[in-house]
Structure 1
Amino acid sequence: MKLKLSMFVWTCMLPLYTKMLAVQTSCLSSNINEKLADSVLTHPCAGQAILVKSHGVIDGTEEGIQDHIACNDCSAWSAVPAMAKLYMIPDVTNYFEDSRQICQKCGGDVAVFNVSDVVGEMTAITNAIAWNSVDIIWIGIKRKSGLNRDQFQWLDGRDFLLTDISWDPGQPNDLNGNQDCLTSYRSFSWRIHDHSCKEYFHVLCQRDPD
């Protein structure tokens, strides 16, 4: 008798429970959609050109790394005397590839140069756009993939040689065997160093004028 009663209760209550669960799920989905809509409307970047996913470090610890949204204004391009390109240094620091996405979303890419004198180019550009507070900047050179760790190239495919005068003494040192991206250092007269691509630096963006 108890078994029959249990089966009767289960048979009668199951459709009701299923319907209640569907209503609850629908309400939850509706609340999430409303919150997403509100977050878009109230986001501090509203009205600016792009939203950028950025990797922030809390208290300087690896455990404190979290993703957050950073603003970037794509109207901040500047002309540099005697150069045919426009340049921009976004406000946010980021991994190399994330930094490159910022440049690309604003219509450009990480800066490459047609001369071997990176030091001279960087000095002229950073003086022109008055970014005196930035010390380390990603530039558009990466280590080539493959077994030979001594080969580098610009993002446009041209080779960048170990004999180039723009390297800082002792560079590249490929510390820990994973320093595949390159920066230019103000503290070292804009000479070039290799770094892990997952470090947090500003980036020099470059694009053609309209």
Structure 2
Amino acid sequence: MSDNSSSKRSGFDRRAFMAGAGIALVPLTARAAVQDPTPAAAQDPALPVEVTLRVNGQDKRLRIDARTTVLDALREHIGLTGSKKGCDHGQCGACTVLVGDRRVVSCLTLALAAEGQEITTIEGLATGDHLHPMQQAFIDNDAFQCGYCTPGQIMSAVACVKEGHAGSDEDIREYMSGNICRCAAYPNIVAAVKQAASDIMKG
């Protein structure tokens, strides 16, 4: 027995139902074109893009690969080499800078993502010949040996204090744990943070 005969017996007309629902009226190929338009060709990320980074109070207009990190923009395009490239995987903290009031590992932060925000590097802490309290505290407490990690340690320490995490040795060690010192100057680093904390909070 045909489907049409069954439909007539039951009083249900499949053709009328499909037409009323508007399904059979649109060919499958047309529906696919409406639902899945061909996406626009993606721009080649290797093509240079214009970006303006505000670094230590100055605007720097750059033409860079869209995949350029803040660290590479600072070192290779702006000439600020204080931020160090250590692991290049965001694990050692040697490249730490401040973006806004937040510390970031600049080797994992795209320069494009930092556009429009204030970037502060180790070169931007001192005022003329007057060292920042944290820089002076690192000198006073001999809080470095080889010095490679020191710029990142100092930038992280400044943020640690401003975040309110310098109230105890335990807090300082915890909130500075993202910055590795392979020379193991950790006790001196803690002492430096404690010394600078009061001056920073007053300033």
Shorter-chain TM-score bucket reads 0.3 to 0.5
Higher helix proportion (structure 1 or 2): 2
Higher strand proportion (structure 1 or 2): 1
* TM-score normalized by the length of structure 1: 0.33
* TM-score normalized by the length of structure 2: 0.34
- Tell me which structure has the larger Cα radius of gyration: 2
